[in-house]
Amino acid sequence: MTDRLDAVFAALADPTRRAILAMLLEDDMAVTDVADPFAMSLAAISKHLAVLSEAGLISREKRGRVIWCKLEPEAMREATVWMRGFGQVDPLDLDDFERFLEQELAERPE
């Protein structure tokens, strides 16, 4: 479990990956659609997606010629349960998490 938590927290440490998670809160997205808002190459976005996937935060599925990404909130729940053990974190509320991520994106310099 420690390795999985390490992967989740490492994935969440990057603002680009948090932004991707915020986008996937809305719906599944094709990799190219995930990449659109970012000023980086598709290869760089693919590396971010690989980190998120390895942490269990997203899943990727090939449909025809397109790779789709889907949010997997269970990995976030595991991290929340772990943090709750310290008595400092309320139960995970995905709506609150979405608002937090939207605020982070709004404050991010372009």
pLDDT for the residue 82: 81
Total structural domains within the chain: 1
User: Does position 91 have pLDDT exceeding 80, yes or no?
Assistant: no
97's tokens? 């998490």
Tell me if 109 is assigned to some domain.
no
Residue 44 in domain = yes
Asked whether the predicted pLDDT for residue 88 surpasses 70, the reply is: no
- Residue 45 domain-assigned (yes or no): yes
Residue 24, CA distances (Å) to 29, 37, 87, 88, 91 in order: 7, 13, 29, 27, 21
Residue 67: inside a domain, yes or no?
Answer: yes
Query: pLDDT tens digits for 16-27?
Result: 999 999 999 989
CATH number at residue 82: 1.10.10.10
Flag whether 110 is in a domain: no
pLDDT(92) > 80? no
Instruction: Give the structural domain span for 13.
Output: 2-102
- How far apart are alpha carbons 74 and 66 in whole angstroms? 24
Residue 107 within any structural domain of the chain: no
Q: In what order do the strands lie in the sheet with 29-30?
A: 29-30, 66-71, 58-63
In a domain, 28, yes or no: yes
Percent of the chain with pLDDT over 90: 60
